[in-house]
Structure 1
Amino acid sequence: MTEIDHPRFGIALRILSGALFAGMIICAKAVSEDVPLGEIVFFRSAFAMIPLILFLWLRGEFPQGLATKRPIGHLIRASFGTLALFASFAAIARLNVAEAVLIAQVSPILMALAAVVLLREQLTAWRIGGLVLGFAGVVVMVWPELGQSGADTARLVGFFLTVLSATLGAIALIMVRSLNRTESPGAIALYFVLATMIGALLTLPWGWMMPSGWTLVLLIGAGLFGGMAHIAMTLAFRYAPATRLAPFEYLALLWPILADLLIFRLHLSTSFLFALPLILLGAAIAAAEKDKAEAIPATR
C-alpha cells in the first residue's frame, strides 16, 4: 500500500497539525505584550528548526535534501513568507486569536486570485464567488469597529495586518507550488526558517529583552509547536488526498475559539459569528476550485 492509502491517519495528522498551530499562536499571543515582535519571530523560527531537522534526518533527507537548483526562488518565497509571519504575529497581539485565525482563512482565496495574476490561470466564477464571500466576511467583522465614534485603532491595525499577512502568505504559497517542481519540501521549509531568523535578527536595534521563566517556556513552545505543526501538515498530505482533508481544515478554528474563551477570557463578538460562515464558505469554494484545477492534468 502507498502512503496515500491511509486517509484516516492523514486526517488525524491534519487535526493534530491544527492543534499544534493553535499552540504556536497561543504561545505567541501570551507573550506579545512583553516581548518585542522580532524576538518572538526569532524564537518561533530557531526552535522550529529542531523538530524539522530531526524529522528530515530520520527520513534520510538531511543534509543532502537541502541541495537546491533555485536559490533565487527560495529567497523570494522566504521573503514573502517572512513578512507574512511578522504581520501575522503583529496582528495576533492586537486581536482575539479566533479573529486573527478566521481572517487568515482568506489566504486560499487570495492564492486563487494570485494564481490568475502570476501564473495566468483562468479567472472562474468560482474564484470570483470565493473572493466576494471571503471579503464580505472581513467587511462584516471590521464594519462595527469603523462605525464606533471612538474606534479602537489597535484593532483596526490588527485587521489590516491580518489581511496583509494572508496576502503575502498567498504569494508565498504560489512560490511553493513553483518550487515543489524541483525542490524538496525539506529544503523549502528550512530555507524559510533560516530567512525568518535572519529577518528577526535585523530587528535587534529596536530592542530585545532577556526572557526567563514562563516567558522563555512560551517562546520556546511557539517554535516547537510551529515546527511540529509543519511536519504533521506535510505528513497529512502524504497519507490522504487534499479533498479528504479539506473539511478538517476548518476544524482548526475550534482551538483558537476555545483559547479565547478559556485561556484569554475573551468573548466572541456578534460580528465574528456573522463573518464566520461567509469567510469559511469563500475559502471552501476557493479550495474546491483549486483541487478541481489540480486534478485536470491527472485525467489527461
Structure 2
Amino acid sequence: MQPAAPVPATAERTEAFGILLRVAATLAFAAMGGCIKALGTTVPLGQVVFFRSAFALLPLVAFLWLTGSFPNGLATTRPLGHAARCLMGAAAMFTSFATIRLLPLAEATMLSYLAPAFMALMGWAFLGENLHRRRIIGVALGLAGCAVISLPSMTGDLPAAAFAGLVLGVTTALLTAAALIQVRRLTVMGEQAGAIAFWFAAVSALAGAATLPLGWTVPDGPQLIMLLGAGLSGGIAHILMTLSFRHAEAAALAPYEYLSILWAVILGFAVFGESPGLAFLLAAPLILSGAVTALPGRRMRRTR
C-alpha cells in the first residue's frame, strides 16, 4: 500500500490560520454574550436586538464591500425564502438574549448546542434527508441532555425565572435549527452567503426597531458601550467564522466550535460570579456529544 503524500507546509499553515480564525470567532461570540449579560434587564430586549443587528451591519458591509459582494451580491430571486429565514432567525435572537438574561451564561450557551439534534430531525422531516443511525444517536444524546438539565425543574428545585430561561433556551435551539434548514434551502437554490447574512441582520434590526413603541431607554455611557460591543463583536464573529472556512475544512474546524462553552464558563465565573451547577455538569457531555454525533459525516482525510 502506497503511503499518502505528505500535506504541503503551505496547506498546514493555511489550515492553522483557519483554526486560529475559528477560535477568534468563538471568543467574539463569547464577548457578545458577555455584553448582553452585562446589560441585564436595564435595556429593553427589543432595543438590544436592534443594536446587536444594526451595528453588526457595519463590519459585515465593510467585509462584503472588500470582497466585491456589495451591493451587487445582495440581489436575490428568493425574497420569500429570505423572509422566512430572517423571521425565524430574528425570533431566535429575541429568545436567545432572553435566555442569557435568565440563565447563567454557560447554561444559555450550552442549550444552543441542541440545535444540531433538532436540525437532524427537521432535515429528515422537511428535506427528506437520511436519518441514519449516527444522527439518531446524536438526537437521542441531545434530548437526554435536555432531560437531565430539566430535572431540577421537575423536582421543584428550579426558580421560576430559571425554568423560563430553560424553556426559552430550548425554543432558541428549535428556532435556530429551523433557520439553518432554511439557509440550507436557500444555498441549494443558489443564494449567496453574503446576501443571506446581510438580509438577516437588516430584518433583525427592523424587528428590534419595531419594539420602539413598547418603550426604549436612553442608554448611559456603560450601557451604550455594551450595546455597541454586542453589535460589533457579533458582526466580527460572523466574518471570522466565514473566513475560517476558506482556509480549513469543516472537519478540522468543528472541534474548536465547542470552545464557546469554555469561554462562557470562564466569563460567567470571572465576571458574573456564576458557577456551573450539577445539572449543567451532567448534561453538558450529553448535549455536546449529541451535537458532534448529529453533524453530517465528516471526512477523516483532507482532499488533496
Same fold (TM over 0.5): yes
1:191 aligns with 199
Q: 1:8 aligns with which of 16, 31, 48?
A: 16
Q: Which runs of 4+ in 1 moved over 3 A?
A: 1-5
The answer to whether 1:120 aligns with 2:128 is yes
Please state how far the C-alpha of 1:270 moved relative to its aligned partner.
Answer: 1.1
- Give the SS at the match of 2:258: helix
Gaps (5+ residues) in structure 2?
A: 1-7
8 A Cα contact 1:136 1:278, kept in partner: yes
The answer to whether 1:100 aligns with 2:130 is no
1:248 aligns with 256
1:38 aligns with 46
2:161 aligns with 154
Q: 2:297 aligns with which of 291, 295, 298?
A: 291
2:286 aligns with 278
1:140 aligns with 148
1:176 aligns with 183
8 A Cα contact 2:109 2:260, kept in partner: no
Q: How many angstroms apart in 2 are the aligned matches of 1:121 and 1:236?
A: 27
After superposition, the CA RMSD in angstroms is 1.7
8 A Cα contact 1:5 1:240, kept in partner: no
Please state how far the C-alpha of 1:141 moved relative to its aligned partner.
Answer: 1.2
Query: Structure 1 residues 140-149 or 68-77, which shifts more?
Result: 140-149
The answer to whether 1:62 aligns with 2:70 is yes
2:224 aligns with 216
2:170 aligns with 163
For these two proteins, the number of residue pairs brought into alignment is: 291
Please state how far the C-alpha of 1:146 moved relative to its aligned partner.
Answer: 2.5
8 A Cα contact 1:3 1:238, kept in partner: no
8 A Cα contact 1:4 1:240, kept in partner: no
Scaled by the length of structure 2, the TM-score of the pair is 0.92
8 A Cα contact 2:122 2:178, kept in partner: yes
2:214 aligns with 206
Deviation digits for residues 22-66 of structure 1 (CA, Å, limit 9, x no counterpart): 101110111122011000000000100000001111111111111
8 A Cα contact 2:43 2:216, kept in partner: yes
Please state how far the C-alpha of 1:145 moved relative to its aligned partner.
Answer: 2.9
8 A Cα contact 1:17 1:228, kept in partner: yes
Q: How many angstroms apart in 1 are the aligned matches of 2:255 and 2:159?
A: 34
Scaled by the length of structure 1, the TM-score of the pair is 0.93
Deviation digits for residues 71-130 of structure 1 (CA, Å, limit 9, x no counterpart): 111101101101111110011100000001011101111111110011011221211111
Please state how far the C-alpha of 1:283 moved relative to its aligned partner.
Answer: 0.6
1:29 aligns with 37
2:3 aligns with none
Please state how far the C-alpha of 1:5 moved relative to its aligned partner.
Answer: 7.9
Q: How many angstroms apart in 2 are the aligned matches of 1:201 and 1:216?
A: 16
| Distance change (3 Å), C-alpha of 1:240 and 1:4 | farther
Q: 1:47 aligns with which of 55, 58, 65?
A: 55
8 A Cα contact 1:4 1:238, kept in partner: no
Deviation digits for residues 159-203 of structure 1 (CA, Å, limit 9, x no counterpart): 111111111111111111121231111110010011101111221
The residue type equivalent to 2:187 in the other structure is N
Deviation digits for residues 241-300 of structure 1 (CA, Å, limit 9, x no counterpart): 11111111111211100111100011110111111111111111011xx135xx7xxx9x
Percent identity of paired positions between Structure 1 and Structure 2: 46
8 A Cα contact 1:4 1:239, kept in partner: no
